[in-house]
Structure 1
Amino acid sequence: MKKGALTLSLAGALALSAVPLNSSVVEAVGNGPGYGGNETVNTSILTTYSEMADFLQKQEAKQENMELEVIGQSVKGRDLYVAKYMSNPENPTILFLTQQHGNEQLTTEGALEFIKHLGTGKMKGVTDNVNILVVPMLNADGAMGDVDFSLEDYVASGDRNLTRYNAVGVDLNRDHITKIQPETKALHTNVMSKYDIDYMIDLHHQGANSERDGELVSGSILYPTTPNVDPEVLEGSKKLGAVVFDAVDSTGWGHLGKYRGGDAETISRNGIAVEYGISTLLFEMRGMSDHEYEPYVLGQKSNGYLIKQTVTTLESTVRAIADGSIDTQDTSFWDTLAFQQTRETE
């Protein structure tokens, strides 16, 4: 790989039609155009698996507090990584998990940007009081379109197509009880069971046409909804959501709704909360990087804001955990936060 390839890829995604916050299209996260067959969705601007691995290895070499660990391999044999900042085992620990679904890429772009920030003065001192685990691109095969089924009907063009499923067509976010797939087995054996984790944010993308209060959302959030979750774990999850909501919805370009999610424990948000006693939050960003169903795919003019939204989410939560302010979060907003609705399209 040519030197700087990842930098160009990340920078391209971040810069792609990102606009000043005082622009007339300040709501770009919520109101950027859907795909609608009207533009080219080009995957070449997205970070590839190899570029991600190279980036993580270079950041480990640069950052004194960062340790990179291989937790297992995908169906196709790609190494799966966790980036670790574990300064003190007594500190509270948060896990950020991205790309269980391979076609939900911008959360990974944001997570990589966040990792870069952890090596700069921008986040100086934060890791002294909180341990951070980042698992980017859990579904590496789906992210690279290296699967054993056809993707010929998918929307995107460029270097590759991206798919929700892993190489053998399994949805990893429905495998958190049986843990049959190598990706979910690696996550549970070498992350969930290995570390004393207090919080987890599971970052996904949803369709492009969800709205709250008549305005398209930039994303949606939800705590575990299984009746088997411990009340203290649930309260911690709601506090985690309060941090994210306050940080994103107040920006002027972010607009969050309440996600409509099921209570099955095969889903990480539910199953991990019950099995490990971890407070979990689902964050569903607007729009997908690729799909065979066009209304799920978002035009790329909002990419920069969606990546920024991910970085804002990760940075705000680690700061709140590090300074203890998460403990005093008011969770009553959940009682009035409207469930998002699907906007009718013409």
Structure 2
Amino acid sequence: MKKSLLALSMAGAMMLSVTPVVDAVGNGPNYGGNETVNTSILHTYDELSDFLQKEHAKQQDMELEVIGQTVKGRDLYLVKYMKNRDNPTILFLTQQHGNEQLTTEGALEFVKHLGTGKMKGVTDDVNILIVPMLNADGAMGDVDFSLDDYVASGDRNLTRYNALGIDLNRDHITKIQPETKALHDNVMRKYDIDYMIDLHHQGTQSAIDNEYVSGSILYPTTPNVDEDVVLKSKQLGAVVYDAIEAKGWGHLGKYNGGSAETISRNGIAVEYGISTLLFEMRGMSDHFYESYVLGQKSNGYLIKQTITTLDATVRAIADRSIETKDVSFWDTLPFQTNRTTE
């Protein structure tokens, strides 16, 4: 992990342990148009590849697989911890949108975490699959369209779309793009997956009770999904909600998501019977809309939020406590709205 980003993450984590939600989340900071949003603190694709190779060499239980290539020919990686094929399996998917990178930073830190004694014995009872940076071309700004209006500076711009200007999270029926085709051919159809968390970022203005959320969650909402899949998706959400809200710095809402099956949350739940959860973290690493970009001082708590999410869900699946999670909180969890100013 890059020293500058890790230091920021750990500093944020220390502050968040004692800071109430109104300060940690509600006060931003937002990008105001004058700050420098420096992408050099984020892993480049090559740095991500080097990190995964080094962790693979160090961790006995970790496997690293190439599942395909991007439009521009970058290898797409799958990180695997799979001791027993009969164990329940969870997939963590990050950066379908290339400008939503802090979840990838958290996932990489979690990979390192899995190689320590803190997770001893957990992977005996759960299989873990991680696809980091699915949209590697967009994450590197290596695209066939202009990024002149994007906010970030530093080494590169990051864009939502792949190199051809396609939103990968609208390609889960036709699977035309090489990135989504690789995901379905070599992950979804190859492994017996029970749960999936699709990690994204949203804009900065979403709020509940006029306080900014740290993120929002949603289960599959297409009418074509099996009821048992929805129940287990809601239980997955309950694990995440309880873990984040207990920290004191998290503040989650319900995402206003549609029912289209072109979206992974819906399409994958229907096609494969996998219980899915969308988690939209607050703010983006880059965008042409300034109001979508979050100031860099928020990076720490968002990375910590990702690590907390992955850790909590892995442990709940491993000890099977997820199977008895109460999902009634979904009935009262408010849909987020945009924060208003007085």
Q: Tell me by how many angstroms 1:343 deviates.
A: 1.5
Q: Tell me by how many angstroms 1:214 deviates.
A: 2.0
Say if 1:103 and 1:162, in contact at 8 Å, map to a contact too.
yes
Quick check: 1:14 aligned with 2:9? Answer: yes
Between the aligned partners of 1:83 and 1:110, the Cα distance in structure 2 is 14
Quick check: 1:314 aligned with 2:298? Answer: no
1:171-217 Cα offsets, whole Å, 9 max, x none, are 00000000000000000000000000000000000000100122110
Q: Tell me by how many angstroms 1:106 deviates.
A: 0.1
- Considering only aligned residues, what root-mean-square deviation do their CA atoms show, in Å? 1.4
Secondary structure class of the residue paired with 2:283: coil
Secondary structure class of the residue paired with 1:31: coil
Q: Tell me by how many angstroms 1:25 deviates.
A: 7.8
What letter corresponds to residue 52 of structure 1 in structure 2? Answer: L
Distance 1:9 1:50, change over 3 A: farther
Name the residue aligned to 1:286: 282
> 5+ unaligned residues in a row in structure 1: which ranges?
1-5
Between the aligned partners of 2:24 and 2:83, the Cα distance in structure 1 is 37
Q: Tell me by how many angstroms 1:271 deviates.
A: 0.1
Between the aligned partners of 2:338 and 2:40, the Cα distance in structure 1 is 30
Identity of aligned residues (%): 79
Q: Tell me by how many angstroms 1:28 deviates.
A: 1.9
Say if 1:9 and 1:46, in contact at 8 Å, map to a contact too.
no
> 5+ unaligned residues in a row in structure 2: which ranges?
none
Say if 2:70 and 2:135, in contact at 8 Å, map to a contact too.
yes
Q: Tell me by how many angstroms 1:112 deviates.
A: 0.3
Say if 2:219 and 2:230, in contact at 8 Å, map to a contact too.
yes
What letter corresponds to residue 246 of structure 1 in structure 2? Answer: D
Q: Tell me by how many angstroms 1:131 deviates.
A: 0.1
Query: Structure 1 runs of 4+ off > 3 angstroms?
Result: 15-19, 23-27
Query: Structure 2 matches for 1:127-146, cutoff 5 A?
Result: 127-146=123-142
Secondary structure class of the residue paired with 2:2: helix
Moved more, 182-191 or 20-29: 20-29
Name the residue aligned to 1:245: 241
Name the residue aligned to 1:40: 36
Name the residue aligned to 1:188: 184
Q: Tell me by how many angstroms 1:23 deviates.
A: 4.3
Quick check: 1:331 aligned with 2:327? Answer: yes
1:72-110 Cα offsets, whole Å, 9 max, x none, are 000000000000000101100000000000000000000
Aligned residues: 341
Name the residue aligned to 2:265: 269
What letter corresponds to residue 45 of structure 1 in structure 2? Answer: I
Distance 1:22 1:330, change over 3 A: same
Distance 1:67 1:10, change over 3 A: farther
Between the aligned partners of 1:260 and 1:235, the Cα distance in structure 2 is 19
Quick check: 1:170 aligned with 2:141? Answer: no
